[in-house]
Amino acid sequence: MFDLHERLVADTVHIIDWPLCSILLMNDSTYPWVVLVPRRHGVVEIHELDKDDRETLMEEIAEASQRLQNTTKAHKINVAALGNVVPQLHVHVIGRFATDAAWPRPVWGVVPAQPFAPAALMAEVARMAQVFAIPASPTPAS
C-alpha cells in the first residue's frame, strides 16, 4: 500500500530502507541532505503515527543525524518535518555549515537546487549507502 509521493520520486534517490523509514538522498549537491520517509500509507503528521512508530522514527532521526554529522563534520544538523508541498510525512535531515549558501537561514528557497551530475550522483549514493548501512549501532549511544 505504501507508495512514495511523486515529488519525492522526482527529487531524491533511494539509499536504503531502515526498519521504519526509507532513507533518500536529496538530489541537491549544495548540502548533505537526506530525507526519511516512514513507510506508512496515508500518514501526514507525526502525531498520526502510532506510539511505536513514533519511537522508531525518533531513533532513526537521531541515528541518521549522528551518522550524517560524523561523515560530513557538519557544524549543525537541521531536522524538519514540514510537508506544506508534499503532504506525505517525510523528515529532512540536513548537514549545515557556517560557510554554506543559506547559512544561517533554513535551506528552503534560498538558492536553486544544484542536482548532481550523473556520475557524481552515483558516487554520492554509493558513499551514502555505506554511511547509512545496517548494522552499525542500532541506536546512538545514550
Give contact residues for a copy of itself (rule: CB under 8 A).
Answer: 44-47, 49-52, 54-55, 57-59, 61-63, 65-66, 69, 76-85, 87, 96, 103-106, 108-109, 139-140, 142
What separation, in Å, do the N-terminal and C-terminal C-alpha atoms of the chain show? 35
Residue 20 and residue 6: Cα distance in Å, rounded?
20
Measured from the CB atom, the residue of 22 and 65 that comes closer to a copy of itself is: 65
Measured from the CB atom, the residue of 15 and 89 that comes closer to a copy of itself is: 89
Measured from the CB atom, the residue of 13 and 81 that comes closer to a copy of itself is: 81
Question: What cell was used for 30?
Answer: 549544495
Q: Residue type for 76, please?
A: K
Measured from the CB atom, the residue of 101 and 122 that comes closer to a copy of itself is: 101
Minimum distance of a copy of itself from residue 138's CB (angstroms): 11
Minimum distance of a copy of itself from residue 5's CB (angstroms): 14
Minimum distance of a copy of itself from residue 135's CB (angstroms): 17
Pairing mode of beta strands 12-17, 91-96: unpaired
Minimum distance of a copy of itself from residue 119's CB (angstroms): 31
Tally Cβ neighbours within 10 Å of residue 64.
23
Residue 129 and residue 2: Cα distance in Å, rounded?
22
Residue 113 and residue 47: Cα distance in Å, rounded?
30
